[in-house]
Amino acid sequence: MALYGLLSISDLLKPGFFYAVAAGFAVLIVVLLILIYWNLYKRKQAFFRPESFRMGFELWVSKLVLEDTQIPASRIPAKFAKHLKQRDKRQFALNSLIELKKSVAGTVGDKVVALYLELGFKADSIEKLDSPVWYKKVKGINELSVMKQEDMNARIFKLTNNRNKYIRREAQAAMFNFYGFRGLRFLNVLTHSLSDWQQLNLIEQLRPLDPEPIPGLSNWLYSDNNTVVVFALKLAEIYQCFEVHDEVVSCLTHEREEVRGQAAKTLKEIAGDATAAILCERYASETPRNKIVILNSLTAIAGDAQQPFLMKELDSGNDFLKLGAARVIVTCCTAGWGLLESKAAQQPLPFRNIYNHLRFELKR
Amino acid sequence: MNWWALILEAFAFGIFLYSIVLFAFYIFIGVFSIGETRKYIHQNRVTDYRMIASSLHAPSVSIIAPAYNEGLTIVDNVRSLLSIYYYNLEVIIVNDGSKDDSLQKLINAYQLEKVDFFVPHQIPTKDIKGVYKSRNPVLRKVVVVDKENGGKADALNVGINIAANDYIICIDVDCVLEQDAILKMVKPFMEATSERVIASGGVIRIANSSVVENGSLVKVRLPREYLPRMQTLEYIRAFLLGRMAWSRLNGLLLISGAFGAFDKEIVIECGGYNRNTVGEDMELVVRMRRYMEERKRPYKVTYIPDPLCWTEAPASYKVLGRQRNRWIRGTYETLKFHRIMFFNPRYRLLGMLSYPYWFFFELLAPVIEFLGFMAFLVMVFAGFVDWELFFALLAVVIGFNYLYSVFAVYMEVKTYNQYRRRTDIAKLLLTSMSEPFNFHPFVVWSSIRGLVDIFRNRHSWGDMAREGFDKKSS
């Protein structure tokens, strides 16, 4: 019965062992229960205790920044000075100023910054910037950026190509915040990817600024970093940079699908006389996704010259491409509706549906 | 020692080994989820979602919500979806041949008119009877599709065919989404650079007893009833621990059908939802992953721990039993369809870890527990039970169960802390005490019935009777 000897649980492990394990679990449960209630207590304290401080501080700050006065040190009430020595209340006050700064501009914004400096919060932000912990560093950069501490630009610029994507992202946003379009110079040296999320953030940060020539744009269109090329193409699209038309056309032959797709999209906004023909030429070798992008661009720039190409595309096997081509025909070709109607008469399915669909869509 | 005793001893040893491995997985999941959740919270501390919400350049998203006989709540449900904060959004409601007045209610409430609409048939579906859009320009986001009844998967496929946007979010129409749910869901797709994010899931929470007003959740409350409260704990464990850990490993096999975001292009390339399973949500994720693995395309399936979607959980044993019966059948069907991946190194982590985990610890767990219990009964009657050892083992199993639940509650308090009253937490913890004796055996029994149904060739979906959320006036 060697097998039995091998398999016998009672020989292998005694009940005492299991009771010890269960007791270990019980101890851990008790520890976790203590932690749960300790956390709940701390949260409650954090919510109620600074309530008076919060209300008082916010009231004081709003009066100060909205009144027509400077921000002198003597105006900091003693009760706040005492509270601000505590770390959590200090961070709370700093967060309040950050939120306020995000929602105001001009003189009021300048006063918020002055108060930030007056209360010594810049030192706190720098301490975070110096931290080896990535999320503290990110927070530090964010605070310095929102408070427009441009003197920190050299240190922050070095972080724009940091290997940690969150540090990199915040540093890039900070450079942008400091210098607007000129802050984009980090794109010259960026070797890491610029995610779509970051690109969108930068574009939205740019929106309030007055358009101006973007230095380095044509160089970025030839960057080895594909994401930099895509971002440059988006800038060219949004700010209608006609001067880079030829560089954008050259991106239509880029090895990356997303670069070619964005180039086709950009060309819609900076089209020249020959652009529609160029897009039609590239069409055949494109992926289905980029074909749809090209057809969308052609909707705004095609003409009668593209009619034969578009009519051929109506016979594509992909319903989306058929619909896209039909849309370009009816919007850009002189006899577009007639052409589509005769196609629908020859081949009711699916062209009668496409015809009706476009009638409804364009009527709206 | 006779042969009977030897067989029972070997069986007990097998169960013991199985339990050890299962415990090891749970410990690993618990520990591994901490890092992922912490990372997510830290990285979002300085994220300004407001800036993106109104952006014209944000990715376009189509929400697809299939509806079947939802006449009682459909108008409020759509209002809830329309209140979501996102510019580039389209809301597609697919009326899956409802027998009630769902469609008419929508037509009246949203001033809908039937329109000429060309539907590209990229995925085969049942016939569409009509597409409706609102005459009111403010409601231009809404598209209502009326189709022949074909089941949830078919309705979702119709939505995918109609969707004009790059990303689709498939939800249950009665779910209540947080205002910023879409913003948070698209972020993982946009953040990826070296690999394509093909799908992303968000945490689903139980809304029974919570207060919903005008389609928005205005007050979170712990469910008053036992079953929904037990499921609250179960969901916290599953979403905050399980899925976050698997997400970190990039080994997720399931994104709940109640709330999941997908890259539309990949969904279409994969052929959309499978109409031949009741687990269409899991099957789609597995098929998409398999598709990417077979083409050696770098990809990721992500999960975000924010509580973004609130749903009503079954409050009766009857409905809960049907739900769990369906879940196990869905798991079985999905694993059967994709059995080629089982311990197949070609599918890397998916084949060597995710699939085997689901097979052994999700599909087989109820079977093994059930057989273990039966064997125990036999041993009792045969007089083979070493009672001292039995109670010692029972203490370990139940102790571990409590530990895991308490840890889940701790993670909840430490992170999103939706239930802020100390009494609520106490109730949640006390509820967990009864789980091994009440809730868990019932879930196991429902799963066993589900597996029996598979062999009896029963494929019904099972109705999910809704009681509705609390209104503010309550």
- Its ipTM equals 0.89
Burial A144-177 (b: 16+ CB within 10 A, else e): bbbbbbbebbeebbebbebeebbbbbbbbbbbbb
Q: Please tell me the pTM assigned to this model.
A: 0.90
Is B120 touching A (CB cutoff 8 A)? Answer: yes
Q: Does B42 touch chain A (CB under 8 A)?
A: yes
Question: Could you tell me the pLDDT band of residue A69, with boundaries at 50, 70 and 90?
Answer: low
| pLDDT tens digits for range B9-61 | 788 788 888 999 999 999 999 999 999 999 999 888 888 888 888 888 999 99
Chain A interface, best mutation among B88, B118, B166, by max A CB count within 10 A: B118
Which residues are within 8 A (CB) of B70 and not within 5 positions of it... i.e. 6 or more apart? B77, B98, B100, B102, B173, B174
Q: What is the pLDDT of residue A119?
A: 87
Greatest mean pLDDT among B357-361, B461-465, B467-471 lies in: B357-361
B385 touches chain A (CB under 8 A): no
Cα-based distances in Å from A75 to A63, A72, A79, A111, B87:
12, 6, 11, 13, 44
DSSP structure class, residue B179: T
**pLDDT tens-digit series, residues B374-387:** 888 888 888 877 88
- CA angle centred on B197, ends B277 and B238, rounded to 5°: 55
Residue A93 predicted with pLDDT over 90: no
Residue A82 amino acid letter: K
pLDDT at A316 over 70: yes
| Region of poorest pLDDT, from A52-56, A299-303, B13-17, B111-115 | A52-56
pLDDT(B85) > 50: yes
Residue contact B386–A319, C-beta within 8 A: no
pLDDT over threshold 80, residue A10: no
Q: Does the structure show a pLDDT above 90 at A194?
A: yes
Mean of all residue pLDDT scores within chain B = 92
Task: Quote the tokens at residue B334.
Answer: 């999905």
| pLDDT exceeds cutoff 70 at A165 | yes
**Average pLDDT estimate for B419-427:** 92
Mean residue pLDDT of chain A comes to: 89
Please state the rounded mean pLDDT for residues A95-118: 87
Confidence of residue A50 (pLDDT cuts 50, 70, 90): low
Are B65 and B92 in contact by the 8 Å Cβ rule? The answer is yes
Mean pLDDT score, A228-241: 96
Q: What's the gap in Å between the CA of A354 and the closest CA on chain B?
A: 5
Contact check, Cβ <8 Å, B48/A102: yes
pLDDT of residue A68: 66
Strands (E) across A61-141 are located at none
Residue B113 forms contact with A (CB below 8 Å) = no
DSSP-H helix ranges across B83-178: 102-110, 152-162
Cα→Cα distances B422→A38, A351, B222, Å:
11, 64, 11
- The mean pLDDT of B410-422, rounded to a whole number, is 91
Name the pLDDT band for B461 (thresholds 50, 70, 90).
low
Enumerate the residues of chain B whose CB falls inside 8 A of the CB of residue A8.
9
What pLDDT digit, counting tens, does each position of B255-288 carry?
A: 999 999 999 999 999 999 999 999 999 999 999 9
CA A222 from centroid of its chain's CA atoms: 23
Integer Cα distance of B464 and B314 in angstroms = 7
Which pLDDT score, from 0 to 100, does residue B465 have?
A: 57
Q: Greater confidence, B208 or B72?
A: B208
Q: Tally A–B CB contacts below 8 A.
A: 147
Read off the pLDDT band of A5 (50, 70, 90). Answer: very low
The pair phi, psi for residue B406, each rounded to 5°, is: -65, -40
Asked if B391 is an interface residue toward chain A (Cβ–Cβ < 8 A), one would say: yes
pLDDT at A329 over 90: yes
Which residues pair with residue B213 across a beta bridge? B216
pLDDT over 50 (residue A12): yes
**CA B329 – CA B275 distance, rounded (Å):** 14
Q: Is the pLDDT of residue B209 over 70?
A: yes
Mean pLDDT of A326-344: 93
